[in-house]
A and B are shown apart, each in its own frame.
Chain A
Amino acid sequence: MKQGTPAIRDIALIGVWAALTFGVKLVLAPVIGVELVSLLLAVFTVVAGFGRGIAAALVFTSITVLESAYYGAGDWIVLYYINWPLLTVLTRVFLKKGSGELRAAVLLGLFGLLFDLPSGGIKLVLFGPVYALTYLISGIPFDLAHGASNFITALFLFRPLADRLDRLKSGIWKI
């Protein structure tokens, strides 16, 4: 099959990865605190590059925001637009293609653990310090589950996913 121009390939690739990430998010939604969005966006950023990574994060977030038609809009939309692109920035800074799984696990584990911190900041501005603090404290069990599950999934899956994606990158995507 004839390959498209690099720009068209990028657009398709980013869209497919964002859609894949969204699909995985939906599948895991019933499991409290467990998600593979962080891992998939981090792996994509490491292998495909920061520009494509942050674009995939923004497309994924925008697809997710469409869910607000069902779940209702809220300040979580702001949180998502902060957190997912921020993850790609952190990935760009702390992870390289050859980074070990432990490094990735620590980064993604801390990201999961502190996921709600920006939300606490939003609530501080909107509702004041008492509400923000009680919100953050009541979320501790979920943050612990999120951090632990991110750590473990990255520890086991970061390298295999990054290596396979890297092979696809040079073999099929030609980017």
Chain B
Amino acid sequence: MKKKIGISAAVLAVCALIFVGYLTFLAPKAQGGQKSVKIEVVIPSKNIDRTFQYKTDRSYVSELLDDKKSDLQAEMEDSQYGKFISGMLGVKADPAKEYFHLKVDGTDATVGVSQLPLENGKIYTFTLTSL
């Protein structure tokens, strides 16, 4: 049993080291200071296409969405992979049929809103998209 615990601890230590390497060299970095960004919400079925411009000191998109809840009415749900958007501007996505697709300057985001850093001048577009 002691041997198994020792091996497990060694494996966890190696994984922790790799994780530190990931955070240091590969993970998206948040930008400090004030940033000017745009949030665009597109809901084709309701003919909604609105753009909001904000200046913010926040680091991640989810934080800005929380701050601007009165404008954007963003509803976020926690999942094992972080937060995902379940509603915007009072429109809730039907999880069986649609989801809010997130793009940054027209390119698909590769991480969720809680990991996506806010960068000066970027446009973050949420489009209600059919599955």
Binding site for B on A (CB under 8 A): 29-33, 69-74, 101-102, 105, 109, 127, 131, 134-135, 137-138, 140-142, 144-145, 147-148, 151-152, 155-156
Q: Can you list 24 A-B pairs with a CB-CB distance of less than 8 A?
A: A29-B80, A31-B80, A70-B96, A72-B96, A72-B99, A101-B4, A131-B110, A137-B26, A138-B28, A138-B110, A138-B115, A140-B26, A141-B19, A141-B22, A144-B15, A144-B18, A144-B19, A144-B22, A148-B11, A148-B12, A148-B15, A152-B12, A155-B7, A156-B8
Bound: A117/B43 CA distance, A:
33
* Interface residue B91 (Cβ < 8 Å from any Cβ of A): no
Segment 1-48 of B: residues with Cβ below 8 Å from A: 4, 7-8, 11-12, 15, 18-19, 22, 26, 28
Task: Give the complex CA separation of A151 and B5 in angstroms.
Answer: 12
What is the minimal beta-carbon distance from A83 to any residue of chain B, in angstroms? Answer: 17
Q: Is the interface of B mostly helix, strand, loop or mixed?
A: mixed
Interface centre among A32, A70, A138, A147 (most CB of B within 10 A): A138
Partner of B80, one of A32, A73, A131: A32
